[in-house]
């Protein structure tokens, strides 16, 4: 059975940052970046903010990107700056006094009532890619992801015990065409991160079908070949799965043990 996290089959935990470097060298400049002094948060100082009702979900129809009105009053105390903003004005300018510090504002040195600039990225209509989705598309507005509890789903559960290497749909072990699936894994990726199957709703049940071009691409988790696609989303977007508690050995402990061998 293919595992959900097959990269580890290729690169062991203790070699995460050594033997696996060939797959992670894309960010080789990290150390250098961390010594950069370009830490000012002033980059956002000139963004224009929409008139916003304050619920975080009423920024217009664009995720807040086209906000354009003068000001935004939040909770009665946070006034979102309403400054002129052109794209060219948003280039971060590193103030002379911020080489060593960011503009982080902490209770000790910040007046909370001061103007903040957690504003809209302020994209104009012409700035945003105008694409026509085209083709069939499932309207997921009607889908309540809460109906599926991924916490109860073992990705391995959808992998059949039998595997026919001659299968012309898949070249690697994985779910079979027509088998039941659930929406917790939407695309199955074959060798070299090629999407092979999509989990689609057909005749009142979720089944693995031939890959839908509008389906989840394998770039989301390219090393998982074969394996399920898992898209990476950085930052503040909530958790993948409810009820998941994570425990694992310490990387330092593993490396320490490896050194002692």
Partner 1 sequence: MADALTIDFDRSGIIDPVFAHFAIPVPTLDVPPLSGVVRDAAVRIWVDRARSEYVGVMIVRKLHGLLVDLNAPMDLQELALRMLLDEQRHANLCSAVVGALGGDSGVTFDVPELQQPRSAATLESQLIEMLVGTYACGEVVAHTLLRHVVKALPKSGFRLVLQSIAKDEVLHARFGPTLLASIRAGEQASWIDCPGDAVISALYSAQCRWMLGRDVVDARDVRLFEDDEQARAMCSVGVSEPRAFKAAYMAAVERVRRHARSR
What residues from 137 to 176 belong to the interface with partner 1 (CB under 8 A)?
137-138, 140-141, 143, 145-146, 148, 150-151
Residue 238 binding partner 1, by CB under 8 A? yes
Closest CB to partner 1 among 90 and 167?
90
Residue 180 binding partner 1, by CB under 8 A? no
C-alpha to C-alpha distances, 261 to 139, 250, 252, 258, nearest whole angstrom: 55, 17, 14, 5
Residue 197 burial (CB count, 10 A): 28
**Is 65 within 8 Å of 121 (Cβ atoms)?**
yes
Residue 261 binding partner 1, by CB under 8 A? no
Q: Distance (Å, rounded) from C-alpha 246 to C-alpha 239?
A: 12
What is the side-by-side strand order in the sheet with 187-189? Answer: 205-210, 195-202, 187-189, 227-228
Q: How far is the CB of 57 from partner 1 (least distance, A)?
A: 4
Q: How far is the CB of 31 from partner 1 (least distance, A)?
A: 11
Closest CB to partner 1 among 127 and 164?
127
Q: Distance (Å, rounded) from C-alpha 118 to C-alpha 121?
A: 9
Residue 79 binding partner 1, by CB under 8 A? no
**Is 165 within 8 Å of 197 (Cβ atoms)?**
no
Q: How far is the CB of 110 from partner 1 (least distance, A)?
A: 6
Residue whose token pair is 């027509």: 178
Q: Distance (Å, rounded) from C-alpha 133 to C-alpha 219?
A: 19
If binding means CB under 8 A, how many residues of this protein chain bind partner 1? 132
Q: Strand runs (DSSP E) across 16-168, as ranges?
A: 72-74, 78-80
Residue 59 binding partner 1, by CB under 8 A? yes
Residue 156 burial (CB count, 10 A): 11
Q: How far is the CB of 52 from partner 1 (least distance, A)?
A: 8
Q: Which of residues 93-112 bind partner 1 (CB under 8 A)?
A: 99-108, 110, 112
Residue 48 binding partner 1, by CB under 8 A? no
Closest CB to partner 1 among 162 and 245?
245
C-alpha to C-alpha distances, 103 to 26, 39, 71, nearest whole angstrom: 28, 7, 22
Q: Which of residues 195-224 bind partner 1 (CB under 8 A)?
A: 213-224
Closest CB to partner 1 among 176 and 224?
224
Q: How far is the CB of 257 from partner 1 (least distance, A)?
A: 12
Closest CB to partner 1 among 169 and 223?
223
């Amino acid at each position: 059975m293919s595992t959900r996290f097959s990269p580890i089959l290729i690169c062991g935990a203790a070699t995460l940052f050594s033997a696996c470097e060939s797959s992670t060298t894309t960010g080789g400049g990290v150390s250098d970046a961390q010594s950069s002094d370009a830490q000012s948060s002033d980059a956002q100082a000139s963004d224009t903010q929409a008139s916003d009702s304050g619920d975080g979900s009423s920024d217009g129809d664009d995720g807040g990107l086209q906000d354009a009105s003068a000001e935004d009053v939040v909770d009665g105390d946070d006034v979102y700056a309403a400054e002129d903003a052109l794209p060219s004005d948003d280039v971060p300018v590193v103030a002379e006094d911020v080489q060593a510090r960011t503009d982080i504002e902490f209770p000790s040195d910040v007046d909370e009532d001061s103007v903040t600039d957690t504003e809209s990225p302020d994209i104009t209509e012409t700035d945003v890619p105008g694409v026509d989705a085209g083709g069939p598309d499932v309207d997921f507005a009607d889908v309540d992801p809460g109906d599926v509890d991924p916490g109860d789903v073992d990705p391995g559960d959808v992998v059949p015990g039998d595997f026919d290497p001659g299968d012309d749909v898949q070249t690697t072990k994985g779910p079979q065409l027509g088998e039941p699936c659930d929406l917790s894994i939407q695309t199955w990726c074959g060798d070299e991160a090629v999407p092979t199957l999509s989990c689609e709703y057909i005749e009142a049940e979720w089944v693995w079908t031939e890959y839908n071009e509008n389906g989840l691409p394998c770039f989301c988790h390219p090393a998982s070949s074969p394996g399920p696609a898992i898209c990476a989303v950085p930052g503040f977007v909530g958790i993948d799965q409810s009820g998941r508690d994570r425990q694992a050995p310490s990387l330092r402990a593993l490396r320490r043990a490896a050194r002692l061998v």
